[in-house]
């Protein structure tokens, strides 16, 4: 899939290693090109949280990637030069670090005791509001719906059965499409009326400033 202005491209390829989702963003003058890579087993809800953010106008507030994690009691700490957050059960994590030349990098993933898991990463210049959208879904405590037989066997996963009609699935899909179209219209309207401003430098939760 490609955005109407051809600045963002989304692809899914399960046949190459490591495979999965790749989102590419072109340089837009102030920012260089960027990409996000999400493994094949990345939950659909987390992928959707990231792609939904592509269609929404940016918030007037500076993005804070760590805030959604801390709200769900994730443990945050420094590990050497990197800053990391780990879920309360220890199965998921998100990490921020810098290369020797100061380029920012994000790594994240999840794995249970049975070895089921996935990984994702974001290259330098990835817009911070997209990384925050990802961390929001990563930390979400909301239950997810899966077809019977599609849930990994794990003592850390609790399941229960619900009945869903095809008409309900169709209605939910249509609601998402309608919301995405409305968000795209709002974003395009904001771009045409709002003066351009330079992005604020990203600062981790402890106040340390990111080098550029």
Q: What is the pLDDT of residues 47-94, one digit of tens each?
A: 999 998 988 877 778 899 999 999 999 999 999 889 999 999 999 999
Q: pLDDT at position 210, please?
A: 37
pLDDT at 201: 44
* More confident position, 174 or 19: 174
At residue 191, the pLDDT reads: 65
- Secondary structure, 3-state, the chain: CECCCCCEEEEEECCCCCCEEEEEECCCCCCCCEEEEECCCCCHHHHHHHHHHHHCCCCCCCCCCCHHHHHCCCEEEEECCEEEEECCCCCEEEEEEECCCCCEEEEEEEECCCCCEEEEEECCCCCHHHHHHHHHHHHCCCCCCCCCCCCCCCCCCCCCCCCCCHHHHHHHHHHHHHHHHHHHHHHHHHHHHCCCCCCCCCCCCCCCCCCC
Averaged pLDDT, 181-207: 60
Claim: this prediction has a pTM higher than 0.85: no
Question: Is residue 173's pLDDT more than 80?
Answer: yes
Residue with more model confidence, 193 or 36: 36
pLDDT of residue 1: 92
pLDDT, one tens digit per residue, over 82-140 is 999 999 999 999 999 988 888 889 999 999 888 888 999 999 899 999 999 999 999 99
pLDDT at residue 65, as a whole number: 95
Average pLDDT over residues 193-208: 50
What pLDDT shows up at residue 2? Answer: 92
């Amino acid at each position: 899939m490609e955005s109407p202005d051809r600045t963002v491209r989304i692809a899914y390829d399960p046949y190459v290693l490591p495979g999965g989702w790749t989102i590419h963003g072109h340089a837009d003058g102030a920012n260089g090109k960027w990409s996000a890579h999400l493994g094949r087993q990345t939950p659909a809800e987390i992928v959707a949280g990231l792609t939904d953010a592509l269609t929404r106008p940016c918030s007037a507030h500076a993005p804070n990637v760590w805030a959604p994690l801390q709200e769900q009691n994730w443990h945050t700490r420094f590990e050497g030069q990197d800053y990391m957050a780990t879920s309360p059960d220890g199965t998921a994590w998100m990490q921020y670090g810098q290369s020797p030349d100061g380029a920012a990098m994000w790594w994240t993933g999840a794995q249970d005791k049975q070895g089921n898991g996935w990984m994702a990463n974001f290259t330098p210049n990835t817009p911070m509001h997209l990384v925050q959208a990802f961390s929001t879904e990563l930390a979400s405590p909301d239950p997810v719906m899966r077809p019977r037989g599609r849930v990994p066997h794990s003592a850390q996963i609790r399941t229960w059965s619900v009945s869903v009609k095809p008409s309900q699935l169709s209605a939910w899909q249509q609601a998402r499409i309608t919301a995405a179209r409305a968000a795209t219209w709002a974003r395009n309207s904001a771009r045409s009326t709002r003066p351009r401003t330079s992005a604020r430098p990203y600062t981790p939760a402890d106040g340390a400033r990111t080098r550029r």
